[in-house]
Amino acid sequence: MTTAIPPKGTGPLARREARLAWGLLFPTLASVMLVVILPLLAIFWISFKPVDLADLRAAAPMVREDLRDADEAAPYIRYRIRNSSQTDPISDIVLSDTIPEGVELLEVPEGCVLEAQALTCRFDLLDPGGRLTLELPVAVPGDIEAAEIAIETDQPAISGAAENVLTSGEFTLENFAELFDAREFWTVIGATLFYTVFGTFGALIVGLFAALLLNKEFRGQGVLRGLYLFPYVAPVIAVAFSWIILFDPFSGSVNALLIQMGVTDDAINFFGERPLALVMVTVFEIWRYFPLSFLFILARMQSIDTDMYEAADVDGASPFQKFRYLSLPMLMGILSVLFLLRFIWTFNKFDDIFLLTGGNAGTRTLTVNVYEQAFALSNIGAGAAVAVVILICLLCFSWFFFRFMSKEEGL
């Protein structure tokens, strides 16, 4: 008699299932690879490169072709070749063109080959900003005007190899050295910390308060809940510009209101003064994202068993005691999850500050600094270096996140 032994390893069915799973996941994984992983690697690469915005347009040869002296005895085709870059040489230039029917080349210059009607010329090197002119005498037995049109409408093809900074073997630590040397860097770190810490705590506390308000049945509860979600749902660009106009120092309603109520005599430039601007963008962040925490906290509150509160009532607990000793411990899980998520997202936030202040008046956070370095100062390498600093911070946060969060709530 043989005893049944459970099969070991993966059977054919399990293998087929795994194959299907990877097949179904393939499109997602491929696109994420292409748009997330690849750019992340690229950022590290670029951060060690001396790249400017202008370097993105690689040096390329340009060519113009025309027929000269068409009405005279000795017409010739002229190719004018130019190096578009003022800094990089171009090597191995290949020019290829088709000579139209009815045009006869009298002489093929050195470096050029004519096969039937196809002309191919090769040059070794073109200096930065260098030019090259090629003149080929031709004979046109037939209609010279038609030939001229044929020659000038048919564009020659040209190619060349130029060294691109992005792909070359040239590396530098300059980007990081400049970044850490600048005194501004530490104010940027300071602004980021302030914005992240206060924005996160603010959104959580305000969200908790809002959730407490709406955690009871009454008429109009649905309407209020919808209304309180507005800041989160509306396009950031719309609300950011509304805030700018509301707090405008010259014609904003808030300043007019404050002056009318006698709080201040002069208009306050809310988004233009240090340190007020940083406080204002943090307040904006709280205003815009409290709905998210409010929604999650409310959902959690509504799932708390009411029996517990009834038992507490019997024991004579006061309302504040019930909140402190019953609700708050039940909410700790969702609060810590929200804290970690919001902390990272606030740290990553770019558009809000960019739209409100453009990073001026002491509101430049790390993410805004990426844009500032890469595009405003057109130093892509420095921008990438800031991005690398961001990624390193995020790695630390994620470590923290996986360490503590997985225990808290089943995320």
When binding is defined by CB under 8 A, the residue of 129, 231, 272, 333 that contacts another protein is 231
Rule CB under 8 A: say whether 341 interacts with another protein: yes
Q: How far is the CB of 398 from another protein (least distance, A)?
A: 6
Query: What are φ and ψ of residue 262, in 5° steps?
Result: 75, 15
Whether the CB-CB separation of 312 and 324 falls below 8 Å is answered with: no
Burial 255-285 (b: 16+ CB within 10 A, else e): beebeeeeeeeebbbbbeeeebbbbbbbebb
Q: Which of residues 320-339 bind another protein (CB under 8 A)?
A: 320, 337
H or E element in which residue 23 lies: helix 12-32
Query: What are φ and ψ of residue 152, in 5° steps?
Result: -85, -20
Burial 340-362 (b: 16+ CB within 10 A, else e): bbbbbbbbebeebbbbbbebebb
When binding is defined by CB under 8 A, the residue of 61, 199, 202, 252 that contacts another protein is 252
Handedness of CA 226, 231, 232, 233 (dihedral sign): positive
Q: How far is the CB of 166 from another protein (least distance, A)?
A: 7
Rule CB under 8 A: say whether 139 interacts with another protein: no
Q: Which stretch in 55-63, 74-82, 131-139, 190-198 sits in contact with another protein by CB under 8 A? A: 55-63
Rule CB under 8 A: say whether 260 interacts with another protein: yes
Q: Which stretch in 69-77, 124-132, 175-183, 342-350 sits in contact with another protein by CB under 8 A? A: 342-350
Total residues at interface with another protein (CB under 8 A): 98
Q: Which stretch in 81-89, 130-138, 191-199, 366-374 sits in contact with another protein by CB under 8 A? A: 366-374
Binding mask 5-44 for another protein (x = CB under 8 A): ---------x--xx-xxx-xx-xxx-xx-xxx-xxx-xx-
Q: Which stretch in 62-70, 149-157, 183-191, 372-380 sits in contact with another protein by CB under 8 A? A: 372-380
When binding is defined by CB under 8 A, the residue of 70, 105, 301, 355 that contacts another protein is 355
- By beta-carbon proximity to another protein, the closer residue of 94 and 212 is 212
Q: How many CB atoms lie under 10 A from the CB of residue 184?
A: 12
- By beta-carbon proximity to another protein, the closer residue of 35 and 113 is 35
Rounded to whole angstroms, how far apart are CA atoms 371 and 358? 10
- By beta-carbon proximity to another protein, the closer residue of 138 and 405 is 405
Q: How far is the CB of 29 from another protein (least distance, A)?
A: 8
**Burial bucket for residue 83 (CB in 10 Å: 0-12, 13-18, 19+):** buried
Q: Which of residues 150-189 bind another protein (CB under 8 A)?
A: 166
- By beta-carbon proximity to another protein, the closer residue of 179 and 370 is 370
The 3-state DSSP class for residue 48 equals coil
Handedness of CA 125, 127, 129, 131 (dihedral sign): negative
Rule CB under 8 A: say whether 62 interacts with another protein: no
H or E element in which residue 236 lies: helix 236-246
When binding is defined by CB under 8 A, the residue of 289, 331, 335, 382 that contacts another protein is 289
Rule CB under 8 A: say whether 309 interacts with another protein: no
Whether the CB-CB separation of 376 and 360 falls below 8 Å is answered with: no
